[in-house]
Amino acid sequence: MSNTIDNPVWNNWAGNISAAPQQIARPGSEEELAALVQKAAQSGQSVRVVGSGHSFQPLCATDGLLLTLDDLQGVVSADSTSGLATVWAGTKLHALGGPLLAADLALENMGDIDRQSVAGAISTATHGTGAALRNLSSQVVGLRLVTAAGDVLEIDGDSAPATFKAAQVSIGSLGIITQATLACLPAYRLHERTWAEPFAECMERLDERIAATRHFEFFWVPGEDVAACKALQPVETESWQVPEDLSGLSERLRRYIGPERVDWSYRIFPSERNNRFVEMEFAVPAAAGPACMQEIRALMQEKHPAVQWPVEYRTLAADDSWLSPAYQRESVTISIHQAVDLPYAAFFADVEAIFRNYRGRPHWGKLHSLTAADFVALYPRWNDFLAVRQELDPTGCFVNEHLQRILG
Q: How close are the terminal C-alpha atoms of the chain, in Å?
A: 36
Shortest distance (Å) from residue 60 CB to ligand FAD: 5
Q: Does 360 bind ligand FAD (CB under 6 A)?
A: no
Bridge partners of 123? none
Residues in contact with ligand FAD, shown as a per-residue x/- string from 314 to 353 under the rule CB under 6 A: ----------------------------------------
Which of 176, 168, 186 has its CA nearest to residue 102?
Answer: 186
Burial of 339 (0-12, 13-18, 19+ CB in 10 A): middle
Considering only residues 36, 59, 231, 399, which one is a binding residue for ligand FAD as defined by CB under 6 A? 59
Considering only residues 23, 45, 46, 117, which one is a binding residue for ligand FAD as defined by CB under 6 A? 117
DSSP 349-368: HHHHHHHHHTT-EE-TTS--
* Radius of gyration for the chain, computed over Cα atoms and rounded to the nearest angstrom: 21
Q: Is 382 helix (H, G, I), strand (E, B) or coil?
A: helix
**Phi/psi zone of residue 37: left (φ > 0), alpha (ψ -120 to 50 degrees), beta?**
alpha
Backbone angles phi, psi at 171, to 5 degrees: 40, 40
Which of 195, 310, 190 has its CA nearest to residue 258?
Answer: 195
- Given CA atoms 171, 173, 176, 178 in this order, what sign does their dihedral have? negative
Residues in contact with ligand FAD, shown as a per-residue x/- string from 258 to 277 under the rule CB under 6 A: ---------------x----
Q: Does 60 bind ligand FAD (CB under 6 A)?
A: yes
Count, residues near ligand FAD per rule CB under 6 A: 32
Nearer to ligand FAD, 244 or 320 (CB): 320
Nearer to ligand FAD, 30 or 81 (CB): 30
Q: Does 177 bind ligand FAD (CB under 6 A)?
A: yes
List the alpha helices (DSSP H) in 115-188. 118-123, 161-167
Q: Does 23 bind ligand FAD (CB under 6 A)?
A: no
CA 59 to chain centre: 13
Considering only residues 10, 13, 309, 379, which one is a binding residue for ligand FAD as defined by CB under 6 A? 13
Nearer to ligand FAD, 76 or 102 (CB): 76
Q: Does 171 bind ligand FAD (CB under 6 A)?
A: yes
Residues in contact with ligand FAD, shown as a per-residue x/- string from 75 to 114 under the rule CB under 6 A: --------------x---------------------xxx-
Q: Does 362 bind ligand FAD (CB under 6 A)?
A: no
Cα 201 to Cα 37, 198, 204, 222, 287: the distances in Å are 54, 5, 5, 15, 18
Q: Does 153 bind ligand FAD (CB under 6 A)?
A: no
Per CB under 6 A, the segment of 54-62, 218-226, 234-242, 345-353 that binds ligand FAD is 54-62
Considering only residues 58, 142, 150, 172, which one is a binding residue for ligand FAD as defined by CB under 6 A? 172
Considering only residues 45, 55, 138, 179, which one is a binding residue for ligand FAD as defined by CB under 6 A? 55
Per CB under 6 A, the segment of 48-56, 191-199, 293-301, 353-361 that binds ligand FAD is 48-56
Do 174 and 393 contact (CB within 8 A), yes or no? yes
Nearer to ligand FAD, 80 or 271 (CB): 271
Longest dimension (CA), the chain: 62
Burial of 158 (0-12, 13-18, 19+ CB in 10 A): exposed
Considering only residues 121, 131, 283, 392, which one is a binding residue for ligand FAD as defined by CB under 6 A? 121
Chain contacts with ligand FAD (rule: CB under 6 A) = 13, 48-55, 59-60, 69, 89, 111-113, 116-117, 119-121, 123-124, 126-127, 171-172, 176-177, 273, 363, 365
